[in-house]
Structure 1
Amino acid sequence: MGGACKALLPLAGVPLLAHAVARLEPQVERLALSANGDPARFARFGLPVLADADPLGPLSGVLAALDWAVALGADAVVSVAVDTPFFPCDLVPRLHLAAETAPEGLAIASHAGRAHPTFGLWPVALRADLRATLARGDARVMGFATSHAAAEAVFAPQTPDPFANLNTPEDLACAEAHLAGQP
């Protein structure tokens, strides 16, 4: 996207972050944004902005969220990707149901036979192990999920793909067309 902050890119005249907030807010108690750099660029959203202690990728953001959640007395956090505006409106309850079958309560989303571990329910009980994993330089989201026997919340195939990332101007144009009701 030419180095632009994806969270602030407009889709149907609204920043991608606003789309994510609209989908996730009804499903959770509190929201926070995992982002590095100047947090002031997100001030209009009124969300706590959680910076990574050691930016190694999405797992660093999950750790920052777990640290934030522990201070609030929460048991878990849910992560989503801001550049995925069509994620399911029932993501959180489905992740919770899947987590009930996982030995450590970790669950990730799966769609059309593909795991999407950036969409996950992360128990705060895994915080110390996640910190140790990142300290070893291992930042593979799927690797961590697999090592903790994450359950998968399976979502049926649909159009558009609810877990498709908007990574190019063409992806953004397709999402605009979908919202406008065009094929």
Structure 2
Amino acid sequence: MRIFGVILAGGGARRMGGVDKAGLMLGGESLISRCIARLEPQVERLAISANGDPARFGFGLPVLADAAPLGPLAGILAALNWAAGQGATAVVAVAVDTPFFPGDLTPQLCLAAEASPTGLAIAHSGKDHPTCSLWPTSLAPALAAFLASGENPRVLSFAQAQHCARAVFAEARAFANINTPEDLAAAEARLKAAS
């Protein structure tokens, strides 16, 4: 199995005042650089899913734009098409605003995916975290059809329709999102407490 990775960094960040979340600083590092450092060792190749000027990232990674602005699923579809074109069999996706995701995310998702008839697995810790997930590249046509159907493009809706499996993680805060200034302050406090 050849597994590539994608960091979903295309959100509007309305609750953060519209700033580019990828560039938010946490413990002296940007959220995107934290996600790269965590995910890169777990995958063969890595890309960033984002619209707008790709030069703003500057990490030497491919930056994949959405074909249509339909949220995280559009970014996942772009990543599946990119990865399939290079011979990958699956893509692990993470959201850029989830900087504490586990260092063993990929192997745990792979183990869980064995229980899914489609090979799709999402992270779960107290609740589902569908943007932290493993996507076989073979799902690209079904995902493209789903996005073209006009249905509400929720990640969990599509994942459940594809009989996703769940990789269960004990640490509930592993998938804590940074959606608001308060979330960012809490994440800073968490880093200080751990150091």
TM over 0.5: yes
**Consecutive unaligned residues in structure 2, runs of 5 or more:** 1-15
* CA deviation profile, 1:88-117 (whole Å, cap 9, x unmatched): 1100000000011110100000001x1111
Correspondence for 1:135 among 142, 145, 148? 148
Q: TM-score, normalised by structure 2?
A: 0.89
Q: Which residue number in structure 2 is paired with residue 68 of structure 1?
A: 82
Q: Which residue number in structure 2 is paired with residue 5 of structure 1?
A: 20
Correspondence for 1:32 among 28, 42, 47? 47
Q: Which residue number in structure 2 is paired with residue 165 of structure 1?
A: 177
Correspondence for 1:176 among 179, 184, 188? 188
- Distance in 2 of aligned mates of 1:70 and 1:171: 35
Q: CA RMSD in A?
A: 1.3
- Distance in 2 of aligned mates of 1:40 and 1:132: 31
Cα deviation, residue 157, structure 1 = 3.4
Look up the equivalent residue of 1:32 and give its one-letter code: A
Look up the equivalent residue of 1:87 and give its one-letter code: F
* CA deviation profile, 1:53-81 (whole Å, cap 9, x unmatched): 01100000000000100111000101001
Correspondence for 2:64 among 50, 57, 66? 50
- Distance in 2 of aligned mates of 1:125 and 1:164: 29
Indicate whether 1:121 and 2:149 are aligned: no
Indicate whether 1:106 and 2:120 are aligned: yes
Look up the equivalent residue of 1:81 and give its one-letter code: A
Look up the equivalent residue of 2:141 and give its one-letter code: A
* CA deviation profile, 1:127-180 (whole Å, cap 9, x unmatched): 10100000012311111101110000001134xx11111011111111111111
Look up the equivalent residue of 1:36 and give its one-letter code: N
- Distance in 2 of aligned mates of 1:32 and 1:143: 24
**Consecutive unaligned residues in structure 1, runs of 5 or more:** none
- Distance in 2 of aligned mates of 1:55 and 1:66: 16
Percent identity over paired residues: 63
Q: Which residue number in structure 1 is paired with residue 36 of structure 2?
A: 21
SS in 2 for 1:180: helix
- Distance in 2 of aligned mates of 1:27 and 1:166: 22
Q: Give the length in aligned residue pairs.
A: 179
